[in-house]
C-alpha cells in the first residue's frame, strides 16, 4: 500500500510539472526572467522624449498590466512604426523583466512581434 501511495504521489507531481502555464496579463509577472510569447491587444501607446516606443496592454497607462518597449535604435530598423500598433492584437516573444515593479518585454527585432 505504501508503494502505491508513493507511486501516485510521484505520478501526480510529474503531471503537475508537465502542465504548461500560459502567460496572460494577470500572471505575466510570474514569468520574470523567462522567455515567453504572449498575444494580447495593445491598449495604449507612448513615445518617450528619447524616441522609444512603449506599447501598453490591459488598462491604459499608468494602470497598464504589461508593456513592450522598442528602443529608438531598434525602432529605426523596423519596416513599420511600432506606434501604429495601437488597438491591434499582437504576439510578442521575449524575456520578461520587471521595471519599476511592472512586467515588460524589450523588443530588439521586428520578428519578435507578430501582428494578428
What would the pLDDT profile of 44-97 be if each residue is shown by its tens digit? 999 999 999 999 999 988 899 999 999 999 999 999 999 999 999 999 999 999
Q: Give residue 20's pLDDT band: very low, low, confident or very high (50, 70, 90).
A: confident
pLDDT in tens, 3-16: 544 444 444 544 44
Which pLDDT score, from 0 to 100, does residue 7 have?
42
Q: C-alpha cell of 21? A: 502555464
Q: C-alpha cell of 58? A: 490591459
Q: C-alpha cell of 94? A: 521575449
Q: How far apart are CA 45 and CA 57, in angstroms?
A: 9
Which pLDDT score, from 0 to 100, does residue 54 have?
97
Determine whether 92 is exposed, middle or buried from the number of CB atoms within 10 Å of its CB (0-12, 13-18, 19+): buried
Global confidence as pTM: 0.82
Q: How far apart are CA 92 and CA 15, in angstroms?
A: 28
Amino acid at each position: 500500500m505504501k508503494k502505491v501511495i508513493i507511486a501516485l504521489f510521484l505520478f501526480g507531481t510529474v503531471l503537475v510539472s508537465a502542465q504548461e502555464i500560459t502567460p496572460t496579463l494577470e500572471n505575466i509577472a510570474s514569468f520574470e526572467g523567462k522567455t515567453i510569447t504572449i498575444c494580447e491587444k495593445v491598449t495604449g501607446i507612448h513615445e518617450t522624449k528619447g524616441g522609444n516606443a512603449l506599447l501598453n496592454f490591459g488598462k491604459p497607462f499608468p494602470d497598464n498590466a504589461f508593456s513592450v518597449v522598442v528602443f529608438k535604435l531598434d525602432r529605426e530598423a523596423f519596416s513599420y512604426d511600432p506606434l501604429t500598433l495601437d488597438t491591434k492584437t499582437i504576439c510578442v516573444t521575449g524575456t520578461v523583466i520587471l521595471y519599476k515593479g511592472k512586467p515588460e518585454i524589450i523588443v530588439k527585432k521586428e520578428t519578435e512581434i507578430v501582428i494578428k
